[in-house]
Amino acid sequence: MTVTNYDKGASKKAVNLTVNADLLNRARALKINLSEAFEARLAELVAADEQQKFRVEAKLAIQRYNARVEEDGILSDDHRTF
């Protein structure tokens, strides 16, 4: 999953993390860039959360629209010929 919904040109900020020592040793042995891997995964998690929030908001909006249509009809009801 490629995520680009953030400013990739933003400045970097140092953080302290606690990581399982065995996992860290294995990642280093594989020459995995920890900063890049962390940033990529963090971007995925943020995007997934934002997508879920959008789905909830969209579902609510659709429900509200459908309720309004059920109560008032649609704007073109008076102009339809079918």
pLDDT band at 76 (very low <50, low <70, confident <90, very high): confident
Q: What is the tens place of the pLDDT at every residue in 29-72? A: 999 999 999 999 999 999 999 999 999 999 999 999 999 999 98
Task: Give dist(CA 47, CA 55) in Å, integer.
Answer: 12
Task: Give dist(CA 53, CA 47) in Å, integer.
Answer: 10
Are 38 and 1 in contact, with CB atoms under 8 Å apart? Answer: no
pTM: 0.72
Task: Give dist(CA 13, CA 28) in Å, integer.
Answer: 21
Domain ranges of the chain: 21-78
